[in-house]
Amino acid sequence: MQPVADQVEVIVAHSERATLRVGDVFLKVDAHPTRTGVEVQAMALAPIPTPPVLWRKPPVLAIGVATGTALGRLGEPSPASPAAWTATGAAIRTLHEAPLPPWPGPDVDGIAADLKRECEWLISSGALPAELVKRNREIARAVFRPYPPVFAHGDLQITHVFVVGDEVTGVIDWSEASRGDPLHDLATLTLGHEEHLDDVLAGYGTDVDVEVIRAWWSARSLLAARWLIEHGFDPDSPGCEFDVLRARM
Q: Give the closest residue to 53 by CA, choosing from 68, 69, 32, 38.
A: 38
The answer to whether the CB of 27 falls within 8 A of the CB of 61 is yes
Q: What is the reported pTM? A: 0.93
pLDDT in tens, the chain (249 residues): 444 555 777 667 677 778 888 888 988 888 887 888 999 999 999 999 999 999 999 889 999 988 899 999 999 999 999 999 999 999 999 999 999 999 999 999 999 999 999 999 999 999 999 999 999 999 999 999 999 999 999 999 999 999 999 999 999 999 999 999 999 999 999 999 999 999 999 999 978 999 999 999 999 999 999 999 998 999 999 999 999 999 998
Beta-carbon-side half-sphere exposure of residue 4 (alpha carbons within 13 Å): 3
Q: What's the rounded Cα separation, in Å, for the pair 46 and 216?
A: 23
> Which residues pair with residue 55 across a beta bridge?
62
Q: Residue 42 and residue 153: Cα distance in Å, rounded?
A: 8
